[in-house]
Amino acid sequence: MVLTYFFICIYIAPLSAFHCRNQPVSSAVFNNVKLSNVLACEGRKCSLQLKIATSMNATGDIRGVSVCADSAGMIGHCQIYTFGHVGKGKATGKQVDVKFKCVPVRPGQLVFVTLKTIPNYCKATWTQRHLVPECRHEGIRDEVAECITGKLAYTVDKARNALTVKVTDAPEDTDYNLRLCHKRNVICAGEGAPMKIKPQHLQSSIMLHYSKPLPCLCIEGWPARVDARRVQVCPFKNNLEELWSGITYDFNKEELIWEPQCPVKVSVSLCHADGGKSCQDIGNVFHSEGQKVIFSSVDPHPMLCTKFTTEVGTWIKCPFAKGNFSVWTAKITSKDGQQWAEISTWVKASFSVSVCEMKPPSQCKQMEGNKFQNFSVDKMKHTVFNLSKGSCEVCICIQVQRVDVRFSVPVLQCDLQCSNWCRDPERSQDIEKILLPAFIFLTVILAAVLFGRMTIKDGDKKKTPWTKLTFLRMNQ
């Protein structure tokens, strides 16, 4: 079975002593050099071989030709083909077709083929590099023994974190290795020794358990022989969501760390969650292709989140959302009509505080005459920020933000304890949109009921005399 051909076709005049004296003779001595890859099979076992053929002009003392095929990692193969003595004085020469025995080669091998005349007339030499097709070539991947890896089919059991694997088309004369591994670029690093399966047990299904459905988690199988090729399938290759959960925070260094468990090209940034679906970026964006990302000097606040962006989409994860990491709190308290803000912290920190007025749409605009105030609070202590007695006359809030770190978010406190404190305009409009139609509907229903009741009473009054009159006539 011929897989691929390489042709070198050159025609030259017959060699003569004059040629040797006046110009060097090169590889053009040989005509129609053909290199082809063929399969040699014995039963179901096939190997790959290199076939070499050429034709040449036999002139003068040339009695044959030699060929050598050499490659790194293989023993050189040399052959000699003789065709007898060609009489002197025949200027036209004799055309001779030469076919050598096939040379065993391996898939993907780079072979150097050299042809020489015997004797080496005028040092005439033909040299060519030949690349043998790799195992992924359609004509050999399922035929050559060393290319056969077997095929893997699987089903996922999410409830038990297990993969049920079935191996097919594997070599029948050797054991088979199966394992789970994490693929990083070309190498797939396994955890522990692979599971070795006997040929007679390959018809059975094999169960492999995994801890997390990572996109780089793959099933890898290969025949249990030296330098065997391997086949890999990755069941969760599109499951990028799992990569964004590996976020840690170092309290001592105030560092937010994300280390990808799989190689992935992603942009990572911190953002401020506003309570809706959007998240406003804070600071620089880090670009990672599998490297660890570290954000230094971070305030662990519930509204501080991490944004991951790939070619596929964007994911937002808020590692402090549960509130277990917060190191400071701000609240508003009231007594005898006086309002004040109280800030407590578990670490030594500096804060910026300002008074602002709520304006639609849900924006807090700094009030005239109220400037930002910066102050420090010692560890395990609290400080008080007094508000004016007229705070309840307008819709005011206080905005607090930690300023001794690089990454922090502003926090609004609007829970003033005022009887006449205004509501959120947007919220009021939403409530009105709901209550007004409901009020109209209930009014219509009540009016209908009252009208119905009045109609029934009028009917009763009209029916009573008629009934009595009929009764009297019947007794007469």
Write the DSSP assignment of 114-158 as a string of letters: EEEEES-GGG-EEEEEEEPPPTTSTTTTTTBGGG---EEEEEEET
Q: What is the pLDDT of residue 408?
A: 93
How does DSSP classify residue 407? Answer: B
Write the pLDDT tens digit of every residue in 107-150: 989 999 998 888 876 777 888 999 999 988 888 888 888 888 99
Coil/strand/helix, residue 4: strand
Tokens of 303: 């509204």
Q: Which of 183, 407, 404, 215 is nearest to 293 (CA)?
A: 407
β-bridge partners, 223: 176
Write the pLDDT tens digit of every residue in 431-444: 455 556 666 767 76
Q: What is the pLDDT of residue 110?
A: 93
With the CA atoms of 398, 403, 408 and 414 taken in that order, what torsion angle do they form, in degrees rounded to the nearest 10?
Answer: -10
From the CA atom positions of the chain, what is the Rg in Å? 44
Tokens of 460: 């009763």
Q: What is the pLDDT of residue 28?
A: 53
**E-state strands within 262-303:** 265-273, 279-289, 293-295
pLDDT bin (cut points 50, 70, 90) of residue 388 is: low
**Contact criterion met (CB below 8 Å) for 249 and 298:** yes
**Contact criterion met (CB below 8 Å) for 85 and 60:** no
Pairwise pLDDT comparison (321 vs 461), residue with the higher score: 321
Sign of CA dihedral 248, 251, 253, 256: positive
Write the pLDDT tens digit of every residue in 280-321: 899 888 988 888 999 999 999 999 999 999 998 999 999 998
Write the pLDDT tens digit of every residue in 326-364: 888 888 777 766 777 788 888 889 998 888 876 665 566
Element (H, E) at 444: helix 425-475
Pairwise pLDDT comparison (465 vs 211), residue with the higher score: 211
Task: Give the separation between CA 445 and CA 453, rounded to whole angstroms.
Answer: 12
Q: How crowded is residue 364: how many other Cβ atoms within 10 Å of its Cβ?
A: 19
Q: Whole-model pTM above 0.85?
A: no
Q: What is the pLDDT of residue 139?
A: 81
Task: Give the separation between CA 240 and CA 308, rounded to whole angstroms.
Answer: 10
Q: How crowded is residue 244: how many other Cβ atoms within 10 Å of its Cβ?
A: 19
**Contact criterion met (CB below 8 Å) for 234 and 222:** no
Task: Give the separation between CA 174 and CA 404, rounded to whole angstroms.
Answer: 66
Q: In terms of DSSP bridges, do strands 381-386 and 338-345 run parallel, antiparallel, or are they unpaired?
A: antiparallel
Q: How crowded is residue 93: how many other Cβ atoms within 10 Å of its Cβ?
A: 18
Tokens of 333: 């308290």
Pairwise pLDDT comparison (86 vs 195), residue with the higher score: 195
Residues 6+ apart with CB under 8 A from 412: 356, 364, 397, 398, 399
Task: Give the separation between CA 443 and CA 436, rounded to whole angstroms.
Answer: 11
